[in-house]
Amino acid sequence: MSFFEENNKSSLKAVRKKELEVFCKNLNIRFKNLDLLNLALTHRSYSNENSKFHDLNNEKLEFLGDSVLGLATAAFLYKDVASAQEGTLARIKASVVSEQTLAPIAAGVMKIPPLLVMGRGEEMSGGRQKKAILADAVEAVIGALYVDSGYKAAEKLVLELIVPEIRKVQKNTGNKDYKTVLQEYYQKKYKECPKYELVKTYGPECDKTFEVKVHLGDSCYGPAEGKSKKSAEQNAARIACSALKIKV
Give catalytic residue positions: 66, 139
Whole-Å CA distances, 220 to 64, 241, 247, 248: 35, 12, 19, 19
Give yes or no for a contact between 92 and 176, defined as CB atoms under 8 angstroms apart.
no
Angle 139-141-147 (CA atoms, 0-180°, nearest 5)?
105
Question: Beta strands of the chain (E only): which ranges?
Answer: 195-202, 209-216, 219-226
Q: Which helix (H) or strand (E) holds 175?
A: none
Which residues have C-beta within 8 Å of that of residue 82, sequence separation ≥ 6?
A: none
SS3 of 223, please?
strand
